[in-house]
Homo-oligomer: A and B are copies of this chain.
């Protein structure tokens, strides 16, 4: 397959957005086109999970072409639950890799503010096994709660470690103007202090309010291109070349209880290994990573499964500050799903957006020094379909 580069990127605020879903997809696309200094692409992929269910909008990809007035360019929507974004980027990479297209726009969007919290949870529960899980009231937070309980018991992870993930990611989000929750939190405020129990009520114990990502509206876009186009664009914009050096994907059983070890995220392990193999890189080469911290425990578990830390030791690296900005391997500099926000179909693209800014040296106050290799892990369902991406600044 020929080499694939990123030539443009854009994002909306992750927050409550008052404009329609197709516009949430179109605005970051316009920002990405402007970033690349181009006004059209050969193809468009839209990543979205809830258009049909939540927004009475199907055929979203066609609506986005209409909003961008880019007829007769072809377009499809790619859905892989919360991993839709990275799936769309991977699909776009192969479309360019095949030689059919020189430039492909990927734009991810979700608009959840039309549903209340209960409906949002029910909607997301449509990812779990309909006959073995969802029908019994198993939601994604409840799966995460059970996973956390087992994991903590097995590896000595405590509620304090979970809180450290939240505190770190909220601090990072305070440096990101597009983040949903730009609020500093402290151990005193969410675990130790007098007000902690009120501030941080249980959601699915041991997970509390500050262990769970918000339900966000938002959009993010990247434009991929062939080497020839990318070099041309780089010459005009003066921006560093960022290569999508590898991608990997893996699936696992739909029902979590069918896994041999329910604390193993096997799909994360395989997807990451595939991405590193394709990129001819190892976990130790990574300068900055965005992991799928829909629940705080997942950042710790994924940081081990992708190979950054030994199994069961991720919380110790966190404790030592290695995953903070300024640490050896900063994780979720954007604020992560936890605080940048989780606009489901946009999330994987937003992860890539953050990595591209970091590799180009455009991440402002949250810039990781000399970031050269970036990595994303986008986690679908409860780990039953995972897509990892590896980016390199050339």
List residues of A whose CB falls within 8 A of some B CB. Answer: 1, 20, 22, 49-53, 56-63, 65-66, 70-81, 84, 87, 90-91, 93-95, 97-100, 123, 126-127, 129-131, 134, 249-255, 266-267, 270-271, 380-381, 384-385, 387
Contact = CB atoms under 8 A, between A and B. Distances in A.
* Among A80, A93, A249, residue most surrounded by chain B Cβ atoms (within 10 Å): A80
Nearest to A269: B72
B252 A380 contact: no
Contacts of A70: 251
Given A91-B91, A251-B65, A252-B71, A385 B59 contact: yes
Contacts of A380: 59, 62
A71 B127 contact: no
B79 A58 contact: yes
Nearest to A58: B126
A381 B62 contact: yes
A87 B62 CA distance: 12
Nearest to A79: B77
A251 B63 CA distance: 10
A98 B73 CA distance: 20
Contacts of A130: 20, 22, 56-57, 63
A1 B98 contact: yes
A269 to B, nearest CB: 9
Contacts of A255: 66
Contacts of A80: 59, 61-62, 75-77
A83 to B, nearest CB: 9
B100 A56 contact: no
Contacts of A49: 52, 58
Contact of A74 (B62, B97, B127, B385): B385
Given A53-B53, A66-B254, A75-B251, 5 more contacts: A58-B126, A71-B253, A76-B80, A77-B78, A91-B95
Contacts of A131: 20
A270 to B, nearest CB: 5
B250 A72 contact: yes
Contacts of A123: 52, 58
Nearest to A53: B52
Contacts of A84: 76
Given A71-B252, A76-B87, A80-B77, A59 B381 contact: yes
A62 B384 contact: yes
A323 B59 CA distance: 31
Contacts of A271: 72
B56 A134 contact: yes
Contacts of A270: 72
A98 B94 contact: yes
* A-B pairs, 4 with minimum CB distance: A74-B249, A97-B98, A72-B250, A66-B254
B129 A63 contact: yes
B75 A385 contact: yes
A58 B251 contact: no
Given A59-B381, A78-B76, A52 B20 contact: no
A79 B51 CA distance: 11
